[in-house]
A = this chain, B = another copy of it.
């Protein structure tokens, strides 16, 4: 009976003539319901004065045409004649100089190449609406912003708006392999169909570029940081060139990952020593070749001497020597090197937390200006919660960029709804106390505190061939939020959520309120049922799916035991002066107060302290009890997210409703699995009963330990 119901339910969903499958992302441009608003917008679209004929201008016209067709069911009217018979003006500051006051012109000029101004202009007794940038890309950004204001019902023709990005490079990092598998990808295959490029162009490439441009994302690294040198052969350069050509009108620059040992693998050399003249010549030639295909090629993203990847250390050279060699060959072309700080060695018997600072602090000031060090938000690896990476604030003369992970490797992959913006906001607003007492991570990233000119925020993509792009519909919100926060690190996760919800589901207030609540509580829920109170790195080995605090054996810092250190006495990783001392990598303001387990924010407690099971927390309860309560609270929140969503049935189209509802049911199961497995496991050390008021963990620890997922998605292929 249940099966029959299921079948009917699904039939119903799939057989709509035009099902909502999420492909449109936040650019669905749903039909405008209000007749007065419809008339107002229709009027603006009925006469668009449009300068310029370049590729970006064509892209703007296409976007306006699509939006107009979908919002009003009619084509817009463009003209390049008779300014005063139009309603909406689009162009650059120079193109529209004749109708702009000097003050407005100065205001726009100060917005830089990517900024825009939009507002009303009085001209010869009539009022017009204008969207103006210094460059065509600024106009495109302004148009997307204006369309967003229509979609979110916040457009006011009488108010002015200016905006410009605070970070120079707003970048997606794809961990996509040349065979189309995606490392840590949970949304199908890679969208890059390398095999059929350059001859066959998937229309999806354009929709990808549109989506990124709508957020201001202006750079993309196409290939996995665990790189394959083949991407640097002419056959693949030709393929990358097609993507670069398609993305250029949308203001997006293409980067590629460089495998440090490429001179050996595809260059026929015996060494990849960065100081070897033949190696330098190899890279010089490769770079020139690359620029012959892609004249505005962005540069190389490099993972070196990390997790087995080759790098300068093999030749007794340091990271600066490796990075600077590449920087020097790129500099004449205007390219840059993005060098990852995610380095740790199995040869060094030292807390992994400390290794990036060990390697990079001594090199401060030694990197070229066109090198930027890309630092993960935390020192371990994209855990559900990490304190900010201690490199932020520790170096003064090195460009630092942020690396966030949009794909949910440790945060529920594609089965869980976890809105990541609150996590990123938490990191960006963290006070570093260096270089100045008021410095924040955001201030270092955007240059306002650090003074660096080359700024970067990178996000590891969660995009794949799944029809809805991100596997889980709400994965779209993380792509969206990353783009918005990269544009302006000061935006709040709440306002970003509101924008995304309205653009995705429309104006319904009930949907907005409930969906926003679900999103905003989702990350803390995940922390609670996965890694509460500073626990970390206790997930399944290799695929990182589900709980596995029992992982041991092999390389120590790839096990769970290394990180939770539970024993009969207590639990947690002592990183104070009595332990690994990693805490001392932070500013004294932090190191001093966090060294005291009664002063450190409890969310970081077990990250830095090994404490007895009976240690008393601020609630007056013991550590053991609070661990239980947090896990249980995580499960309860997951359940309330599910019931909250399910209460929207009938208000949301059945396809997307069912998609999310099914996945939330999975999420509840996975939350219970995390709670049960972790608590049963930790109880073997704590030897204490669970707090009475929580739902008692069910099941058998051996059952959980024996679960096996050899085909979990996103595992690195074995080349």
Residues of A within 8 A of B (CB): 3-4, 6-8, 10-19, 21, 55, 58-59, 62-63, 65-66, 69-70, 177-181, 188-189, 194-196, 199-201, 203-207, 230, 245-246, 248-249, 414-415, 465-467, 655, 658, 662-663, 665-666, 669, 709-713, 715, 717-718
Contacts of A16 in B (CB 8 A): 66
Closest-CB distance, A268 to chain B (whole angstroms)? 13
Most buried by B among A178, A245, A658, A663: A245
Q: List 28 A-B contacts (CB under 8 A).
A: A6-B201, A6-B245, A6-B246, A7-B245, A8-B55, A8-B58, A10-B203, A10-B246, A15-B63, A15-B66, A16-B66, A19-B203, A177-B711, A179-B713, A180-B713, A188-B189, A189-B189, A189-B465, A195-B709, A195-B711, A195-B712, A199-B662, A199-B666, A201-B662, A203-B658, A467-B467, A717-B717, A718-B718
Given contacts A14-B206, A16-B66, A200-B662, 8 further A-B contacts (CB under 8 A): A10-B201, A14-B204, A179-B711, A179-B715, A196-B663, A199-B663, A199-B666, A230-B710
4 pairs of A and B residues whose beta carbons are closest in the complex: A14-B203, A199-B666, A178-B711, A14-B206
B249 near A7 with CB under 8 A, answer yes
Interface of A is mostly: helix
Closest-CB distance, A174 to chain B (whole angstroms)? 15
Closest-CB distance, A593 to chain B (whole angstroms)? 43
Q: When chains A and B are docked, how far (Å) is the Cα of A201 from the Cα of B21?
A: 13
Q: When chains A and B are docked, how far (Å) is the Cα of A21 from the Cα of B202?
A: 11
Q: When chains A and B are docked, how far (Å) is the Cα of A195 from the Cα of B62?
A: 39
Contacts of A205 in B (CB 8 A): 10
Contacts of A712 in B (CB 8 A): 195
Contact of A14 among B14, B207, B230, B245 (CB under 8 A): B207
Q: When chains A and B are docked, how far (Å) is the Cα of A196 from the Cα of B666?
A: 9
Query: When A17-B70, A66-B15, A712-B195 are in contact, do A200 and B7 touch as well, CB less than 8 Å?
Result: no
A7 near B713 with CB under 8 A, answer no
Q: When chains A and B are docked, how far (Å) is the Cα of A347 from the Cα of B199?
A: 42
Contacts of A59 in B (CB 8 A): 7, 11
A669 near B199 with CB under 8 A, answer yes
Contacts of A196 in B (CB 8 A): 414-415, 663, 666
Q: Which residue of B lies closest to A205 (CB)?
A: B10
Query: When A17-B69, A62-B12, A62-B15 are in contact, do A7 and B246 touch as well, CB less than 8 Å?
Result: yes
A195 near B19 with CB under 8 A, answer no
Contacts of A658 in B (CB 8 A): 203
Q: When chains A and B are docked, how far (Å) is the Cα of A6 from the Cα of B201?
A: 10
Q: Which residue of B lies closest to A8 (CB)?
A: B58
Closest-CB distance, A220 to chain B (whole angstroms)? 16
Q: When chains A and B are docked, how far (Å) is the Cα of A3 from the Cα of B238?
A: 13
Contacts of A467 in B (CB 8 A): 467
A200 near B663 with CB under 8 A, answer yes
A465 near B188 with CB under 8 A, answer yes
Contacts of A717 in B (CB 8 A): 717
A10 near B206 with CB under 8 A, answer yes
Contacts of A207 in B (CB 8 A): 14
Most buried by B among A17, A58, A466: A17
Q: Which residue of B lies closest to A231 (CB)?
A: B711
A666 near B711 with CB under 8 A, answer no
B245 near A3 with CB under 8 A, answer yes
